[in-house]
Amino acid sequence: MVKGFNGVIARVNLSTGEIKKEKLNEEWVRLFIGGRGYGGKIIYDEVDAKVAPFAPQNKVVIATGPTAASNAPAGGRTMIITKGALNGTLACSNVGGFFGPEFKKAGYDMVIIEGKSPKPVYLWINDGTIEIRDAQKLWGKKPDQIEEAVKSETDPKARVMTIGPAGVKLSRIAAVMFDLNRAAGRTGVGAVLGSKNFLGIAVRGTKKVEIADPAGLKEANSQARKLLKEASIPGEALPTYGTSVLVNIMNEIGGYPVKNHQDAYFPTAGQTGGEAIAEKILIKKGACAACPIACGRITEIREGKYKGEHGEGPEFETTWSLGVMCGIDDLNAITKGNYLCNEYGLDTISAGVTIACAMELYERGYIPEKDVPFPMRFGDAEAMIKMVRLMGDREGIIGDLLAEGSYRLAEHYGHAELSMSAKKQEVPAYDPRAVKGIGLHYATSNRGGCHVRGYTVGPEVLGWPMQLDRLTYEGKAGLAKMFQDFTAVVDSSSMCLFTFFGMPNMSDYSPILRAITGIPYTDEELLKAGERIWNLERLWNLKAGFTKKDDTLPPRLLKEPIASGASQGEICELDKMLPEYYKLRGWDEEGIPTKEKLNELDLETPL
Amino acid sequence: MQVRPDDIMKIKVKFFATFKEAFGAEEREVEFEGRRSVLDLLNSLCDSVERRQVLFEGCAKLKPYVKVLKNGRLIEHLDGIDTQLVEGDLIAVFPPVGGG
């Protein structure tokens, strides 16, 4: 029997209240590893790709992988897999915190949520038992109020995942919050939970998960921790300055999007970087379960209007999206905006990019004054904060539209081209005009605009694990594919992508996965599993109606040269990379996986 | 732009993250006479053994993952440490950084 799992998946039908236990499919563990890969296979098999994200027929898989509760470094992540609310892709949002190991120790590997509850409920999972509990009094409350109430109703040591007011109001950019401040942010997974009248899960677990080779795992974990300690990024840069240490380098290379990508350099961006955070607002570092890196920032605003408020963040992406993307360099305001997003349960990337989109629409006169309660101009920090509130509350005409994300907002006003999104999901803080490979990844990412599923920024900007030229196109197709397949493995294992900054080879992960599961995975088999997961997600998206036309970027990034800074004049010529990418993937010219490729990956031909 | 041997040029240098602490300032302006390279510039700034150890692992070799940008371009994609400087260049020096 495969080890490192409980061998049990819970299936909860919210429509009927039925709770079942099912056996883990061991063959699927070999083929799809766990977490994102395994959960994706469940959705692929069980949910009609054409179903509406908010239909009761959509399902949600909350999944861990083999490394959760194994003490593998940063190996406790949880994944939420579903048909995403933002764009209808086979969505997966990945989160740290402490929920994953607790869930696994409660005796389950995953839970499948089906149907729609007639009234708001949450699940209480307590060392093997599962109860559906009433959540009517908690519906629409903030995560901190929910966590406190749920812990008092269940166990003070319970770990809690919950949607906030944004999920309840079906905002398509709603996150699911874990341990208060960690977010499964992307793709609108929070709204899918909201559509099912499902608040979240409280879990308590004290069981041990059996490991195939405990001595081997101890040695493999120890080796991995050594790599992470000795490597400069996870050993020094991330713990000292957090993820926002990237602000300055992205700005210096002229690849840090400004005012809805109207530029890519902001002279005072450094005022919001990791160094400034460490100096002005940092209280202490924060680490997720079993994580030796501790990139989290526990912060407090120490001056100005929001003095005394405290919370977690901002991370790099939030520093940017609520910052210079909106023309703002006020760190306190950005931090306040971040706290608010956490309180509403909003994805900070999509929230900030949507606000930036609204600011441009307003400044260009595309949003009539009657639709807005105040001017929405770039650089106005107070406007940004008020817009987060409007978005979270869906207040008024503009609040209702902001909650839908930038694409629907811009489309409503007749200018969809001003949504900085790929497959309707807002693209992150690396401008593809200045970093070509990440543009290819944004365009081809299975869940829409996203950086973490194919982080070519490592070699293109940071020189890790090798240095490539960010402005050339040659070799970027292979680079994107390699990172996408590699990351599918890391995600599906439950490990954090940041381990890659010290563990750049599959051979750094495979001893851990072999020791935990007892499956004699080779490095090649694991990378093949990553490729299989990527192709499965692609097949789902094709079935859902996505085509080659959706593998693209906003026209601004393809045609409008960067206005100033070190990458002035650059555009992203996607056509120079996409055909080669399809070819390397074993897809035809329309981006459809060939029969040969699917056979090679043990995937059926569904089309 | 041609630089004559007797020209005086001003180069702006920025240090980030841990390098800001090691070099005591985020931004400095350096004046040179004549033709100079990135190596000359960094040599002139490493005015103590400690500072030298921060950046170099040999006479003319930077430590791995020390990132030097000339006007936003990594010197690896120019002429490396021998990249020539001209008046008004901005040099940014980064320790290893990462995130997401």
State the pLDDT at residue A274. Answer: 96
A377/chain B closest Cα distance in angstroms? 27
The architecture that CATH gives domain A8-204 is: 4-Layer Sandwich (3.60)
Buried b (16+ CB within 10 A) or exposed e, A518-544: bbebeeebbbbbbbbbbbbbbbbbbeb
How confident is residue A290, by pLDDT bands cut at 50, 70 and 90? very high
How confident is residue B4, by pLDDT bands cut at 50, 70 and 90? low
Q: Is A604 exposed, middle or buried (0-12, 13-18, 19+ CB in 10 A)?
A: exposed
d(CA A589, CA A582): 7
Which of A240, A246, A566 faces B18 most closely, judged by CB atoms?
A240
- Chain A partners of B74 at a C-beta cutoff of 8 Å? 463, 467, 469-470
How confident is residue B26, by pLDDT bands cut at 50, 70 and 90? confident
pLDDT digits (tens, 9 = 90+) for B27-45: 999 998 888 999 999 999 9
Domains in chain B, please, with CATH? 8-94 (3.10.20.30)
Q: For chains A and B, what is the number of CB pairs under 8 angstroms? A: 101
Q: Cis (ω within 30 of 0) for the bond into A314?
A: yes
List, edge to edge, every strand of the sheet that includes A19-23: A19-23, A8-13, A110-114, A60-63, A78-83, A90-95
d(CA A410, CA A361): 7
Assigned token pair, A376: 């929405």
CATH code, A436-600: 1.10.599.10
Check CB contact under 8 Å for A240 and B17: yes
Does pLDDT of B6 surpass 80?
no
Lowest mean pLDDT across A180-189, A294-303, A379-388, B56-65: B56-65
Does pLDDT of A458 surpass 90?
yes
d(CA A598, CA A606): 10
Does pLDDT of B99 surpass 90?
no
Check CB contact under 8 Å for A244 and B65: no
d(CA A441, CA A449): 8
Beta strands A198-204; A8-13: pairing state:
unpaired
Phi and psi, residue A175, nearest 5°: -95, 170
CATH 3.60.9.10 domain locations along chain A: 8-204
Shortest CA distance from B64: residue in chain A = A463
- Chain A partners of B95 at a C-beta cutoff of 8 Å? 232, 236-237
d(CA A230, CA A152): 42
pLDDT digits (tens, 9 = 90+) for B41-94: 999 999 999 999 999 998 889 998 899 999 999 999 999 999 999 999 999 999
Spatial contact of A30 and A70, defined as CB atoms under 8 Å apart: no
CATH 1.10.599.10 domain locations along chain A: 436-600
Assigned token pair, A379: 């650089």
> Whole-number mean pLDDT of chain A?
97
* DSSP at A399: H
d(CA A54, CA A44): 17
Which of A236, A244, A254 faces B99 most closely, judged by CB atoms?
A244
Does pLDDT of A487 surpass 90?
yes
Check CB contact under 8 Å for B17 and A254: no
- Chain A partners of B92 at a C-beta cutoff of 8 Å? 248-249, 252
Beta strands B8-15; B90-94: pairing state:
parallel
Which of A232, A234, A469 faces B95 most closely, judged by CB atoms?
A232
CB proximity list for B2: less than 8 A, separation 6 or greater:
none
Secondary structure class of A513 (helix, strand, coil): helix
Does pLDDT of B3 surpass 70?
no
Give the DSSP H or E segment for A123.
strand A121-126
A245/chain B closest Cα distance in angstroms? 6
Radius of gyration of chain B (CA): 13
Check CB contact under 8 Å for A317 and B67: no
Closest residue by Cα to residue A443 from A396, A389, A404, A481: A481
- Chain A partners of B73 at a C-beta cutoff of 8 Å? 253, 566
Segment A220-226 mean pLDDT: 98
Spatial contact of B79 and B2, defined as CB atoms under 8 Å apart: no
- In percent, the amount of chain A with pLDDT more than 90 equals 99
The architecture that CATH gives domain A216-426 is: Orthogonal Bundle (1.10)
CATH 1.10.569.10 domain locations along chain A: 216-426
- In percent, the amount of chain A with pLDDT more than 70 equals 100
Phi and psi, residue A134, nearest 5°: -65, 135
Does pLDDT of B14 surpass 70?
yes
Check CB contact under 8 Å for B72 and A565: yes
Does pLDDT of A607 surpass 70?
no
Segment A393-412 mean pLDDT: 98
Report ipTM (2 d.p.): 0.93
State the pLDDT at residue B58. Answer: 84
Phi and psi, residue A477, nearest 5°: -65, -45
d(CA A486, CA A466): 16
Q: Which residues of B touch A (CB under 8 A)?
A: 14, 16-18, 20, 26, 65, 67, 69, 71-74, 76-77, 92, 94-100
Check CB contact under 8 Å for B96 and A243: no
Does pLDDT of A450 surpass 80?
yes
State the pLDDT at residue B59. Answer: 86
State the pLDDT at residue A605. Answer: 67
